[in-house]
């Protein structure tokens, strides 16, 4: 049975400042959904709203297979299978990579989960004995994705995974992320400004502008409409 994460009529604000307006989103396990938008469009706020970040006031609903997550604490949302990789990475710099991964393992997760994660994100395999503070930004990003996978989530939310990374690391991470829906049977949401990265990865793309969903469709449709891209994203293909 395919599990589904749904966002329905979601609006969000920081105090009196509105950040999202009536967002609808559907993410099925085994598929990748991309969120594109300029800086400040609301992509990060949408991901934070899904995981119940306490600094945001949310209206509307977020649910997995009809079970609402709206009144749950963030750690309970995580226990129900939603993993979030923030753009700040937040690894434990004084711990080794192996220790960072081990503390993320949930009770009941298969004993071979570490090996499966290392196969999916091979960049991490050679880093296991290194401390977090010894890693480059790209290596830290790979570790945060691997750490999120250690909890065997049903849904993985990635916030700006390519920000500040070299083209080579971006290429390696893209290859890893592309494999995740099939290898782990999970739904992936990628929030990015990197147009090419998202359109190469996603099965479906949503474009956000000033807190509203202004376009939804396939990557192929978006790529084929440069006027729409220029109007809402101010970027061309990179």
Coil, helix or strand at residue 219: helix
The radius of gyration computed from the CA coordinates of the chain, to the nearest angstrom, equals 17
| The pLDDT of residue 29 | 97
Give the whole-angstrom CA distance, residue 112 versus residue 116: 6
| Ramachandran region, residue 31 (left: φ > 0; alpha: ψ -120 to 50; beta: rest) | beta
Q: What is the pTM of this model?
A: 0.93
Domains of the chain: 4-232 (3.40.50.300)
Mention every residue, 6+ apart, whose C-beta is less than 8 A from residue 231: none
| The pLDDT of residue 238 | 41
| The pLDDT of residue 116 | 95
Give the whole-angstrom CA distance, residue 192 versus residue 196: 10
Residues 10, 82, 54: CA angle, nearest 5 degrees: 55
Residues in the chain: 238
> Could you list the mean pLDDT of each consecutive 10-residue stretch along the chain, which spans 238 residues?
91 95 97 96 96 95 96 94 91 95 89 95 96 94 96 96 93 96 96 96 97 97 95 66
Structure token digits, residue 135:
């890693």
């Amino acid at each position: 049975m395919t599990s589904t994460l749904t966002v329905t009529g979601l609006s969000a604000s920081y105090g009196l400042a509105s950040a999202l307006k009536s967002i609808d989103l559907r993410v099925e396990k085994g598929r990748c959904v991309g969120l594109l938008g300029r800086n400040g469009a609301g992509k990060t706020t949408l991901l934070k709203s899904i995981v119940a970040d306490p600094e945001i006031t949310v209206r509307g609903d977020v649910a997995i297979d009809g079970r609402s997550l709206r009144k749950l604490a963030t750690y309970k949302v995580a226990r129900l299978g939603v993993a979030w990789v923030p753009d700040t990475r937040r690894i434990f710099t004084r711990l080794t990579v192996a220790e960072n991964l081990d503390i993320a393992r949930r009770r009941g997760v298969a004993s071979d989960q570490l090996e499966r994660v290392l196969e999916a994100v091979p960049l991490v395999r050679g880093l296991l004995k290194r401390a977090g503070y010894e890693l480059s930004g790209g290596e830290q990003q790979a570790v945060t994705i691997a750490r999120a996978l250690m909890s065997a989530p049903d849904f993985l939310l990635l916030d700006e995974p390519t920000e500040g990374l070299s083209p080579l690391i971006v290429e390696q991470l893209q290859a890893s992320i592309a494999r995740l829906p099939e290898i782990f049977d999970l739904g992936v949401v990628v929030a990015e400004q990197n147009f090419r990265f998202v359109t190469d990865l996603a099965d479906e793309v949503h474009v956000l502008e000033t807190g509203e969903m202004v376009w939804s469709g396939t990557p192929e449709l978006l790529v084929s409409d440069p006027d729409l891209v220029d109007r809402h994203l101010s970027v061309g293909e990179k």
